[in-house]
């Protein structure tokens, strides 16, 4: 069963690289297309909005498709979007191309999570989902740095050309490696929409959103913290972020194993630990060695939540696996945008950068309370059934 999961991870690697590599290429893009830095930055926001908007749209479009066919089709859309990015003659064209590329994001990870969970025994579902998401985390460690370096050396368009080739490789691997047994028809989209309005499903989606809000209220402005508070140089900052990327990779794999062991206690513990880590980061951010340790540990705990949250959604939306899993990816991205907005509000209000970790800790506490509410509803339902 490893080859099908590896094929999913390769596709995830391509998607993760195209999502984040644009950040390192923004000056090159702005200079080449003759736009300002803030306008170029909107290419990042445009992608995030494309993910959020594409989640329900692609869930509806692919509702009756076989899952194998859906995954291959979504990667073909990914290839088209990156080809358009590589040949974009203008800023507006590139923006549309980025949105087209983003449309496949949530649906691929949503349906891919369902497929990964079906490929293994029930007690290893979270580990399988974590393995697929490893492609996303490795993209931050390898894909983004190498893609940025290639863009600087050969032009930013070359980066999207190489990502297109990764997409082609992923399509071939998905077609060859995914077994026929998962090539099943999806359920009724109307039945799935009825299932996702259940309070437990909504609480699971809210948990994912709050997890991202907690992370991105700090991570969005981490460069300012590392440079202005901790005192790292711009060159050192890249290595610190590489350490953070290593943390999220390790955290995703360990989180999958722990979630398969005891899902809800793991979610409880993760959010408590994240809150404590961020509280101490408001102090340790003044010192370089503690900051290095914090970045790795914070990344590990933050991403350990992802496979657990994804499995929680699948557990509570058994009648709506495709739609709920896809919307959960949209929920993560809504959290990304909301976290960046909240952090910006805090800075605009005059709060010091060292207060941002406290903001993230507060949101993590809200996520803990959401999981606690969901667990109490589980207990009440079990007593009623007994």
Confidence of residue 181 (pLDDT cuts 50, 70, 90): low
The stretch 247-259 carries a mean pLDDT of 88
Select the more confidently predicted residue: 184 or 150: 150
Judged against a pLDDT cut of 90, whether residue 374 lies above it is answered with yes
- Is the pLDDT assigned to residue 184 strictly greater than 60? no
Distance separating alpha carbons of residues 204 and 110, to the nearest angstrom: 14
What range does the domain containing 38 cover?
Answer: 1-186
User: For the domain that residue 234 is a member of, what is the CATH number?
Assistant: 1.20.1250.20
Q: Give 160-172 as a 3 state SS string.
A: HHHHHHHHHHHHH
> Which residue from 270, 5, 210, 250 is spatially nearest to 125, judged by alpha carbons?
5
User: Is the Cα dihedral 204, 209, 212, 217 positive or negative?
Assistant: negative
Asked if 160 and 299 sit in the same domain, the reply is no
For the ranges 8-12, 61-65, 138-142, 279-283, the lowest mean pLDDT is seen at 61-65
| 210-242: burial string, b at 16+ Cβ within 10 Å, e else | bbbbbbbbbbbbbeebbeebbebeeeebbebbb
Q: Count the neighbouring beta carbons within 10 Å of the beta carbon of residue 378.
A: 14
Q: Are 309 and 374 in contact (CB under 8 A)?
A: no
Query: Do 300 and 371 fall within a single domain?
Result: yes
Same domain, 282 and 235: yes
The verdict on 226 and 92 lying in the same domain is: no
Per-residue pLDDT tens digits for 189-247:
666 777 788 889 999 999 999 999 999 888 878 878 888 899 988 678 778 878 888 89
Q: Where is the domain boundary, 136, 162, 186?
A: 186
- Judge whether residue 185 has pLDDT over 60: no
Query: Scanning the structure block, which residue is given the tokens 């959010």?
Result: 271
Q: Are residues 25 and 91 in the same domain?
A: yes
- pLDDT tens by residue, 257-313: 888 888 899 999 999 999 999 999 999 999 999 999 999 999 999 989 998 998 898
Place 8 in a pLDDT band, splitting at 50, 70 and 90: very high
331 in the same domain as 253:
yes
In the predicted model, what is the mean pLDDT of residues 360-375?
95
Structure tokens, 346:
């805090």
More confident residue, 64 or 125: 125
* 310 shares its domain with 253: yes
CB atoms within 10 A of CB 56: 17
Q: Write down the mean pLDDT value for the chain.
A: 87
Q: With 60 as the cut, is the pLDDT of residue 124 above it?
A: yes
pTM for the full model? Answer: 0.80
Asked if 169 and 198 sit in the same domain, the reply is no
Number of domain units in the chain: 2
Residue 336 has pLDDT above 50, yes or no: yes
CA atoms within 13 A on the CB side of 374: 27
Among 153, 186, 219, identify where a domain stops.
186
Q: Which of 151, 186, 221 is the last residue of a domain?
A: 186
179 lies in the same domain as 286: no
Contacts (Cβ under 8 Å, ≥6 apart) of 122:
none
Question: What pLDDT was estimated at residue 182?
Answer: 63
Our measurement of the distance from residue 104's CA atom to the centroid of its chain's CA atoms, rounded to an integer in Å, reads 13
**193 and 118 co-located in one domain:** no
Q: Are residues 117 and 32 in the same domain?
A: yes
Residue 66 pLDDT:
84
Same domain? For 345 and 215 the reply is: yes
């Amino acid at each position: 069963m490893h080859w099908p999961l590896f094929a999913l991870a390769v596709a995830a690697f391509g998607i993760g690289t195209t999502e984040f590599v644009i950040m390192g290429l923004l000056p090159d893009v702005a200079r080449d297309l003759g736009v300002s830095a803030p306008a170029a930055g909107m290419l990042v926001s445009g992608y995030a909005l494309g993910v959020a908007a594409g989640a329900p749209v692609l869930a509806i479009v692919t509702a009756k498709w076989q899952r194998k066919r859906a995954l291959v089709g979504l990667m073909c859309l990914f290839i088209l979007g990156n080809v358009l990015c590589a040949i974009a003659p203008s800023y507006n064209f590139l923006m549309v191309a980025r949105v087209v590329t983003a449309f496949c994001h949530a649906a691929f990870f949503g349906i891919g999570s369902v497929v990964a969970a079906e490929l293994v025994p029930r007690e290893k579902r979270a580990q399988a989902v974590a393995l697929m998401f490893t492609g996303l985390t490795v993209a931050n460690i390898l894909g983004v740095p190498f893609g940025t370096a290639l863009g600087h050396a050969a032009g930013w368009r070359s980066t999207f050309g190489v990502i297109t080739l990764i997409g082609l490789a992923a399509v071939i691997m998905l077609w060859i490696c995914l077994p026929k047994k998962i090539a099943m028809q999806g359920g009724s989209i109307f039945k799935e929409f009825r299932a996702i309005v259940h309070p437990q499903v909504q609480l699971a989606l809210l948990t994912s959103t709050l997890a991202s809000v907690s992370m991105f209220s700090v991570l969005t402005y981490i460069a300012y913290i590392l440079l202005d508070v901790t005192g790292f140089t711009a060159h050192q900052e890249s290595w610190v972020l590489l350490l953070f990327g290593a943390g999220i990779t390790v955290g995703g794999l360990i989180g999958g194993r722990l979630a398969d062991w005891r899902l809800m206690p793991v979610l409880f513990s993760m959010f408590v630990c994240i809150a404590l880590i961020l509280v101490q980061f408001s102090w340790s951010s003044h010192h370089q060695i503690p900051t290095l340790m914090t970045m790795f540990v914070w990344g590990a705990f933050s991403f350990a939540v992802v496979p657990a949250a994804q499995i929680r959604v699948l557990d509570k939306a058994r009648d709506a696996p495709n739609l709920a899993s896809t919307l959960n990816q949209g929920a993560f991205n809504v959290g990304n945008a909301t976290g960046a907005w909240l952090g910006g509000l805090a800075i605009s209000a005059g709060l010091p950068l060292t207060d941002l970790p406290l903001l993230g800790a507060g949101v993590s506490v809200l996520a803990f309370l959401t999981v606690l509410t969901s667990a109490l509803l589980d207990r009440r339902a079990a007593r009623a059934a007994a």
